[in-house]
A and B are shown apart, each in its own frame.
Chain A
Amino acid sequence: KQEVTQIPAALSVPEGENLVLNCSFTDSAIYNLQWFRQDPGKGLTSLLLIQSSQREQTSGRLNASLDKSSGRSTLYIAASQPGDSATYLCATNQAGTALIFGKGTTLSVSS
């Protein structure tokens, strides 16, 4: 059964820092890996989706990479801002199936 782990559980950084969030998964037979953002009391916003055949995806200051063989993905946030403060969740699935989520990393960016 797939297990998704995110480390660290919480992270505090000063504004302007570049940072990396980590996600690992136990079964490399994935179809997609998706990164989400969740603000307190809110729903999930999809940030990036990486297909199993891809190595990375970029959107603005965000870059997500995928290494299936080692069961790892990273989310790189460049030049962090206080508005980036949120919980970041990664999730994987097989084709057409439900997502399996990690517990998330709660990021706090101070000004």
Chain B
Amino acid sequence: DARVTQTPRHKVTEMGQEVTMRCQPILGHNTVFWYRQTMMQGLELLAYFRNRAPLDDSGMPKDRFSAEMPDATLATLKIQPSEPRDSAVYFCASGEVGTAYNEQFFGPGTRLTVL
């Protein structure tokens, strides 16, 4: 049963600390997305990659956030330094662009709390 996995599922940290979230996309999918969900803003795109190359990171605060795909099986989202306003659920999704449906499949999310 292929699915997107994310670690950690929960993270509590103090302001100023570095946070790294990891995502394993579904094998064979060529596009990986990072979204953030908050009560106020809902679900919003942070960044996405195709064939490991960044295509759009316009939703990401560049001074503190960075996203990478070191290989096809791992995507990372890093926040340094973290701030209380970064508290949210971060979702990774993957899809196979170029197929008929372009459907996106979501991971369970990482719930981040910054104190």
Instruction: Spell out A's residues near B (CB within 8 Å).
Output: 31-32, 34, 36, 41-46, 49, 51, 89, 91, 93, 95-104
Contact = CB atoms under 8 A, between A and B. Distances in A.
Contacts of A102: 42
Shortest beta-carbon contacts, A-B, top 7: A96-B97, A98-B45, A101-B43, A44-B106, A43-B108, A103-B42, A43-B109
A51 B101 contact: yes
Given A43-B91, A103-B42, A95 B103 contact: no
Nearest to B48: A98
A43 B107 contact: yes
Interface of B: 31, 33, 35, 42-45, 48, 50, 56, 91, 93, 97-98, 100-109, 111
B50 A46 contact: no
The interface residues of chain B, by DSSP majority, are classed as strand
A46 B101 CA distance: 13
Contact of A95 (B102, B104, B108): B102
Given A32-B101, A96-B31, A89 B106 contact: no
Contacts of B93: 99
Please indicate which of the listed interface residues B44, B103, B104, B108 has the most CB atoms of chain A within 10 Å of its own CB.
B104
Given A51-B101, A96-B102, A98-B56, 15 more contacts: A42-B108, A42-B109, A43-B106, A44-B91, A46-B103, A46-B105, A46-B106, A49-B101, A89-B43, A96-B98, A98-B33, A99-B45, A101-B42, A101-B43, A101-B44
B97 A95 contact: yes
Nearest to B59: A98
